[in-house]
Amino acid sequence: MSDIADLTNGAARLAPAASQLPVSWYSDEKLFALEKQQLSMPGLAMRAMH
């Protein structure tokens, strides 16, 4: 949870790469299957309509 960031007040700074995802996670078939299980669970496959 974070508050609102403000570019005009906050100093533009480089933060340590503590949590970027490993490069292998973007082409891993097994992980993709896990994502489909975890992220397609009812309620995560939402869609906005009007």
Partner 1 sequence: MVPGLHDYRSLEWLDHARLLVRQCDIEPGQVELLSNVCRHRQAIMLQGSGNARNIVCPVHRWTYDLQGELIGAPHFPANPCLHLDKQTLENWNGLLFQGPRSAQHDLAGMKLANDGVFDFTGFKLDRVEMHVCNYNWKTFIEVYLEDYHVVPFHPGLGNFVTCDNLRWQFGEWYSVQRVGITALQKSGSSTYARWQKAVLDYNNGEKPKQGAQGAVWLTYYPNIMVEWYPHVLVVSSLIPQDVDKTMNIVEFYYPEDIALFERELIEAEQAAYMETAIEDDEIGERMDRGRRALLKQGRSEVGPYQSPMEDGMRHFHEFYRRIMAGAMDGY
Q: How far is the CB of 12 from partner 1 (least distance, A)?
A: 7
Query: Which x/- pattern, by CB under 8 A, does the window 11-40 give for partner 1?
Result: -xxxxxx-xxxxxxxxxxx-xx-xxxxxx-
Q: How far is the CB of 25 from partner 1 (least distance, A)?
A: 7
Residue carrying the six token digits 């078939």 = 29
Distances (CA, A) of 13 to 7, 16, 19, 21: 10, 10, 16, 20
The binding site for partner 1 (CB under 8 A) comprises: 1-8, 10, 12-17, 19-29, 31-32, 34-39, 42-50
